[in-house]
Amino acid sequence: MAEPYRKRLDTMLRQANRRRNASGIRLECRHFFSGAALYANGTICASLSPVGFAVKLPEELRAALLRKRRARPLRYFKGGPIKKEYVVLSAAAASKPAALRALLRESIWYVTHRKQSVPVRRSWTTHEKPPESRLSKASGLYRLMEPK
């Protein structure tokens, strides 16, 4: 059941003009439960499943997409927990190649450049706050996500 999602995610990646080794970042599409996931250097950054196309993004960008109703919080099943760093893009947002390309670029950057958690006295704590989104209103992503 997951194979069609993996092929479709691979196609979306190619349409977004992302090479598998762009900028030294290794990208890989793999099976992921009932869908497929995109990994950047071994860390998941996007998934395509029966619930839709989800991307892992910084808080500021997630909030903007949710506010503009271009995305919704990710839940894999009704009543399930919300995956906090992910949003599921609306069909309209996922169908815009320029917006998809910008969101994938931001997601890949986010998972490969943010500070990782470090262990402290048998518990996990964040060493530093994750970097703010590199995107601003001037970057053009907000303009791409505007409904026409």
Is 99's pLDDT higher than 50? yes
Would you say residue 119 has pLDDT above 80?
no
Cβ atoms of 87 and 78 within 8 Å: the answer is: no
Q: Are 59 and 87 in contact (CB under 8 A)?
A: no
Three-state SS annotation for 83-144: EEEEEEECHHHHCCHHHHHHHHHHHHHHHHHCCCCEEECCEEECCCCCCCCCCCHHHCHHHH
The domain spanning residue 51 has which CATH number? 3.90.1150
Please give the Cα distance from 105 to 132 (Å, whole number): 15
The answer to whether 141 and 135 have CB atoms below 8 angstroms apart is: yes
Kindly report, residue by residue over 124-141, the tens digit of the pLDDT. 444 444 444 555 554 556
Number of domains present in the structure of the chain:
1
Expressed as residue numbers, the domain containing 21 is 3-145
pLDDT at residue number 144 = 56
At residue 139, the pLDDT reads 52
| Predicted confidence (pLDDT) at residue 117 exceeds the cutoff of 50 | no
- Calculate Rg over the CA atoms of the chain: 15
Element (DSSP H or E) covering residue 54: strand 52-56
